[in-house]
Amino acid sequence: MTVGRRQFLTATAGAAALGVAGTASAQSEPDYGGWFDDVSNYDGTVDRRGQDTVEIAVGAEGNDGNYAFDPPAVTVNPGTEVVWTWTGAGSGHNVVSDGDGPLDSGSPVSESGTTYSHTFEEYGVYNYVCTPHESLGMKGAVVVGGPLQGGAGGEGGADIELSGPGWLLGGSVLVAFFSPLLFAAVMRRRYRERPPQPTDSDLELASGPRPVEGAPEVEPAVEVGHDEFDPWGTASLVAAYFVLIALLWVFMYFVEFLGRVSVIG
Partner 1 sequence: MQVHNFEKLWFGAALLLIVGFIATVAYGTVGAGVQMVDDSGGQIDSQAVQQGSTGTGFDDPGVVKQSDDHYVVYVVAQQFQFAPGSGDTPIRIPADTRITFRVTSADVVHGFSIVETNVNTMVIPGQVSEVTARFDDPGTYGLVCHEYCGAAHHEMGGSIEVVPRADYEHNATEVQN
Asked whether the beta carbons of 40 and 68 are under 8 A apart, the reply is yes
Nearer to partner 1, 129 or 148 (CB): 129
Cis peptide before 71 (omega within 30 of 0): yes
List residues near partner 1 by CB under 8 A.
63-65, 67, 91-92, 107-111, 131-133, 135-136, 231, 235, 238, 242, 245-246, 249, 253-254, 257-258, 260-265
The pair phi, psi for residue 130, each rounded to 5°, is -100, 115
**CB 256 → partner 1: shortest distance, Å?**
10
Amino acid letter for position 137: G
Nearer to partner 1, 121 or 256 (CB): 256
**CB 248 → partner 1: shortest distance, Å?**
12
Amino acid letter for position 204: E
**CB 55 → partner 1: shortest distance, Å?**
23
**CB 246 → partner 1: shortest distance, Å?**
8
Strands 124-129 vs 139-144: parallel, antiparallel or unpaired: antiparallel
Q: How many CB atoms lie within 10 A of CB 193?
A: 7
Q: How far apart are CA 119 and CA 125, in angstroms?
A: 14
Nearer to partner 1, 59 or 145 (CB): 59
Nearer to partner 1, 10 or 40 (CB): 40
Nearer to partner 1, 224 or 261 (CB): 261
For residue 147, give the DSSP letter: P
**CB 56 → partner 1: shortest distance, Å?**
21
Asked whether the beta carbons of 16 and 26 are under 8 A apart, the reply is no
Nearer to partner 1, 167 or 249 (CB): 249
CB hemisphere CA count around 162 (13 angstroms): 8
Asked whether the beta carbons of 74 and 43 are under 8 A apart, the reply is no
**CB 43 → partner 1: shortest distance, Å?**
21
Q: How far apart are CA 67 and CA 85, in angstroms?
A: 14
